[in-house]
């Protein structure tokens, strides 16, 4: 692929923009980060702007760190004087500088507090994760608890959440605590209500740049507007992003911020970076065809000077296993016949639960891989806990059973502490028995612990007794119901369209149907602990969301079936943007894969395939 260290004409115009307001619409692989760093350099080198007067905002710490690295060749030692940080870090610093006294409420502490308040408000059936999400979305939209209750007047469930929201805000106020969303809302209120503070930061940061602008939410947009409104003289507001790659609506991001930018800033200048340096014309053609079906978008044409490559390949499997086997065969061909190495390849999917079939196929055929920023399927907590239950049931009176019991005794929470476990270990050692035998003989003084242990034994004993008559998949189903496991594993989750943990244990149960006894299943799942499944030089496996900002010579976008991509619970245009992000990661070769059945049921292939598959697809 061609790489250009110098800017092309459109990049140069965007980087050289002077004072005022500008939006830069950057297609995938168009060099937006390079353009942004050159703009910062241009402001300092050619316009005499002090580095301290430049504020560059992005949305992840990794992105901010990467920006600093790319700025070093441009500015050398002056790089450290430019404020490049996440918007949350900026808000934290601003509030502390202005004398606000607070501690950050961690996500874990936030969840604990919400559970406590929900219990106090006698709200038992609404998952804590859902309450956290609704409060977070409200704050991201600058909706107070009073406004929240007004909006949802008459909606019983949302009104209950509104009561928790009110109590949550009061608790945080008393304890001088802010959560991450509060950093935004408190900064917004301070800038809005205090003209002196607002003027101070308007003057301090005369030039503001924002990366990944399509991911801003209304609260972030409100802060930015306050920082740039009413400024005169030598100042600029320069944002960069791509409405076609807006895929974070579930966190509160609003694609409307970039779509409506010209209306919000009437005199703004718009630049379009439409030259792609990443992909072949064949890949870009498929990308263009797909995104053309969205109606809410800014029109752009994907261009490239890269030479023609191979046609995009579609692979159809009878089922998921067959689909994965075809990927295995293509991987082998890519290495043996076309000279690629494993780390050149990536397999992308809509939801984490889809990795199981691919991991199994790669492990079976000795193809090294790693799950990017995640665990292999059988190591995921909700999956591993059920496997530990099976391990315990298979041999309760063994050393392996003792190890498993230590892991499962408090899952779900049975309020069993360290002192109880120490006493149990001592009694087992004294009687020279294994832990479960000691547990059943133990005299427990605390009534609620005695009750929970009795319930635990009542679940386990019948399963131990009947383990030779029950198949592993059947036993997993019994455990899920008896433990109310599905509710337990999702109670802390912020709801998303994926329902990942439920989907993961559904996949585990599906995988277990191939085995008639626990030991065979455990022997199989244990085989995923070797070096094959965590090889950083192997094939990269990840969700499309994790792949954002990355590129690979060869990309497989897998699981292109209706209900998965597009997801059955997703907005169709957002789902199409997710698919667009996935396929636009490919540099030289793109594979689109799907199956005729999924989880044993017939499925339709994704409508996105119909939109992409014409003309240049094998």
Per-residue pLDDT tens digits for 296-347: 999 999 999 999 999 999 999 999 999 999 999 999 999 999 999 999 999 9
What is the rounded average pLDDT for all residues in the chain? Answer: 91
pLDDT of 261 over the 90 cut? yes
- Domain membership flag for residue 3: no
CATH number at residue 434: 1.10.486.10
Cα gap 356→376, rounded to integer Å: 8
- Domain membership flag for residue 373: no
Nearest to 228 by CA among 513, 436, 23: 23
- Domain membership flag for residue 150: yes
Which two three-digit tokens encode residue 429? 């050692």
Cα gap 283→576, rounded to integer Å: 16
Q: What angle do helix axes 9-16 and 32-47 make, rounded to 10 degrees?
A: 50
Pair 60, 86: CB distance under 8 Å = yes
pLDDT of 530 over the 50 cut? yes
Query: Are 209 and 348 contained in the same domain?
Result: no
pLDDT of 49 over the 70 cut? yes
- Domain membership flag for residue 4: no
Is 43 in a helix, a strand, or coil?
helix
CATH number at residue 122: 1.10.10
Nearest to 175 by CA among 235, 98, 105, 128: 105
How many independent structural domains does the chain possess? 4
> pLDDT grade, residue 2 (50/70/90)?
very low
Rounded to the nearest angstrom, the gap between the alpha carbon of residue 310 and the centroid of all alpha carbons in its chain is 31
Cα gap 28→184, rounded to integer Å: 29
Peptide bond preceding 412 in cis form (omega within 30 of 0): yes
Percentage with pLDDT > 70 across the chain: 96
pLDDT in tens, 531-569: 556 788 999 999 999 999 899 999 999 999 999 999 988
Cα gap 408→311, rounded to integer Å: 51
Which two three-digit tokens encode residue 291? 């995104």
Q: What is the pLDDT of residue 503?
A: 85
Decide which of 442 and 197 is more confident.
197
* CA torsion angle 378 382 384 390 (round to 10): -120
Query: Are 386 and 513 contained in the same domain?
Result: yes
Query: Are 191 and 49 contained in the same domain?
Result: yes
CATH number at residue 314: 3.40.50.300
> pLDDT grade, residue 362 (50/70/90)?
very high
Mean pLDDT of 359-378: 87
- Domain membership flag for residue 530: no
Which two three-digit tokens encode residue 136? 């977070």
Query: Are 60 and 189 contained in the same domain?
Result: yes
Expressed as residue numbers, the domain containing 142 is 103-175
Pair 545, 497: CB distance under 8 Å = no
Q: Which of 247, 273, 299 is the last residue of a domain?
A: 273
Nearest to 584 by CA among 537, 532, 544, 533: 544
Peptide bond preceding 254 in cis form (omega within 30 of 0): no
Question: Which of 233-247, 363-377, 560-574 is predicted least confidently?
Answer: 363-377
Which two three-digit tokens encode residue 48? 């005499």
- Domain membership flag for residue 374: no
Query: Are 452 and 512 contained in the same domain?
Result: yes
Which two three-digit tokens encode residue 229? 């409104």
Q: What is the pLDDT of residue 77?
A: 77
Which two three-digit tokens encode residue 448? 């609620």
Query: Are 327 and 387 contained in the same domain?
Result: no
Query: Are 83 and 203 contained in the same domain?
Result: yes
Query: The pTM is what?
Result: 0.85
SS (H, E, C) 446-463: CHHHHHHHHHHHHHHHHH
SS (H, E, C) 378-442: HHCHHHHHHHHHHHHHHCCCCHHHHHHHHHHCCCCCCCCCHHHHHHHHHHHHHHCCCHHHHHHHC
> pLDDT grade, residue 294 (50/70/90)?
very high
Nearest to 372 by CA among 253, 539, 484: 539
Mean pLDDT of 410-435: 88
Query: Are 414 and 448 contained in the same domain?
Result: yes
Query: Are 409 and 262 contained in the same domain?
Result: no
Pair 221, 254: CB distance under 8 Å = yes
Cα gap 166→144, rounded to integer Å: 9
pLDDT in tens, 470-528: 999 999 999 999 998 888 887 665 555 456 888 889 899 988 998 999 999 998 888 77
Q: Which of 273, 302, 326 is the last residue of a domain?
A: 273
Mean pLDDT of 252-272: 92
Per the listing, tokens 């698919």 go with 579
Q: First vs last Cα of the chain: how many Å apart?
A: 22
Cβ neighbours, 10 Å, residue 136? 18
pLDDT of 403 over the 90 cut? yes
Question: Which of 66-70, 305-309, 385-389, 417-421 is predicted least confidently?
Answer: 66-70
Query: Are 58 and 122 contained in the same domain?
Result: no
Pair 27, 277: CB distance under 8 Å = no
Question: Which of 64-68, 113-117, 303-307 is predicted least confidently?
Answer: 64-68
Q: What is the pLDDT of residue 414?
A: 84
- Domain membership flag for residue 598: yes
Query: Are 402 and 474 contained in the same domain?
Result: yes
Q: What angle do helix axes 500-512 and 355-364 make, rounded to 10 degrees?
A: 40
Mean pLDDT of 280-306: 96
- Domain membership flag for residue 375: no
Mean pLDDT of 241-250: 92
Q: Which residue stretches of 22-155 are H helix?
A: 32-47, 61-75, 87-97, 107-120, 128-140, 145-151
Q: Which of 209, 238, 273 is the last residue of a domain?
A: 273
Query: Are 351 and 244 contained in the same domain?
Result: no
Q: What is the pLDDT of residue 139?
A: 96
């Amino acid at each position: 692929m061609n790489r250009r260290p110098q800017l092309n004409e459109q990049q140069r115009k965007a980087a050289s923009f002077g004072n005022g307001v500008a939006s830069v619409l950057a297609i995938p692989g168009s060099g937006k980060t390079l353009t942004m760093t050159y703009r910062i350099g241009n402001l300092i080198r050619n316009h005499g702007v002090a580095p301290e007067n430049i504020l560059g905002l992005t949305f992840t710490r990794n992105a901010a760190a990467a920006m600093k690295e790319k700025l070093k060749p441009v500015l050398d030692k002056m790089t450290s004087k430019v404020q490049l940080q996440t918007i949350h870090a900026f808000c934290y610093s601003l509030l502390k500088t202005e004398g606000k006294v607070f501690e950050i409420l961690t996500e874990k502490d936030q969840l604990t507090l919400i559970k406590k308040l929900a219990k106090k408000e006698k709200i038992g059936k609404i998952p804590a994760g859902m309450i956290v999400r609704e409060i977070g979305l409200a704050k991201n939209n600058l909706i107070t608890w009073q406004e929240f209750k007004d909006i949802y007047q008459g909606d019983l469930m949302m009104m209950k959440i509104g009561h928790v929201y009110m109590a949550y805000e009061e608790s945080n106020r008393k304890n001088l605590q802010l959560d991450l969303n509060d950093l935004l809302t408190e900064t917004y209120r301070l800038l809005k209500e205090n003209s002196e503070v607002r003027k101070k930061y308007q003057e301090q940061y005369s030039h503001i740049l924002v990366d990944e602008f399509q991911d801003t939410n209304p609260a972030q947009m409100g802060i930015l507007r306050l920082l740039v409104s009413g400024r005169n003289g030598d100042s600029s507001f320069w944002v960069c992003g791509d409405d076609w790659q807006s895929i974070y609506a579930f966190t509160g991001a609003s694609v409307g911020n970039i779509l409506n930018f010209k209306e919000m800033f009437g005199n703004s200048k718009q630049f379009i970076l439409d030259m792609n340096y990443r992909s072949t014309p064949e890949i870009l053609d498929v990308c263009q065809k797909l995104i053309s079906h969205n109606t809410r978008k800014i029109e752009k044409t994907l261009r490239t000077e890269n030479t023609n490559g191979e046609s995009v390949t579609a692979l159809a499997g009878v089922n998921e296993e067959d689909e994965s086997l075809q990927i295995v065969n293509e991987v082998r061909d890519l290495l043996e016949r076309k000279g690629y190495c494993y780390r050149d390849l990536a397999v992308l999917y809509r939801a984490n639960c889809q990795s199981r079939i691919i991991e199994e196929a790669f492990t079976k055929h000795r193809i090294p891989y790693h799950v990017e920023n995640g665990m292999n399927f059988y190591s995921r907590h909700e999956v591993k806990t059920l496997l530990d239950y099976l391990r315990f049931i298979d041999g309760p009176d063994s050393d392996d059973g003792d190890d498993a019991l230590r892991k499962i005794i408090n899952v779900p929470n049975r309020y069993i502490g360290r002192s109880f476990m120490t006493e149990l270990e001592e009694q087992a050692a004294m009687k020279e028995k294994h832990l479960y035998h000691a547990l059943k003989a133990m005299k427990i003084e605390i009534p609620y612990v005695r009750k929970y242990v009795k319930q635990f034994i009542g679940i386990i004993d019948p399963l131990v007794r009947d383990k030779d008559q029950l198949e592993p998949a059947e036993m997993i189903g019994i455990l899920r119901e008896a433990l109310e496991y599905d509710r337990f594993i999702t109670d802390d989750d912020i709801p998303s369209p994926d329902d990942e943990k439920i989907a993961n244990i559904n996949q585990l149960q599906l995988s277990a149907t191939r085995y008639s006894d626990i030991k065979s299943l455990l022997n199989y799942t244990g085989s995923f602990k070797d070096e094959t499944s965590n090889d950083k030089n192997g094939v990269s496996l990840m969700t499309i969301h994790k792949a954002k900002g990355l590129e690979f010579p060869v990309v497989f976008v897998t699981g292109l079936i209706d209900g998965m991509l597009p997801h059955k619970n997703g907005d169709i245009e957002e789902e199409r943007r997710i698919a667009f992000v996935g396929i636009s990661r490919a540099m030289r070769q793109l594979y689109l894969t799907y199956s005729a059945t999924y989880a044993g049921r017939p499925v339709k292939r994704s409508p996105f395939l119909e939109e992409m598959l014409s003309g240049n697809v094998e």
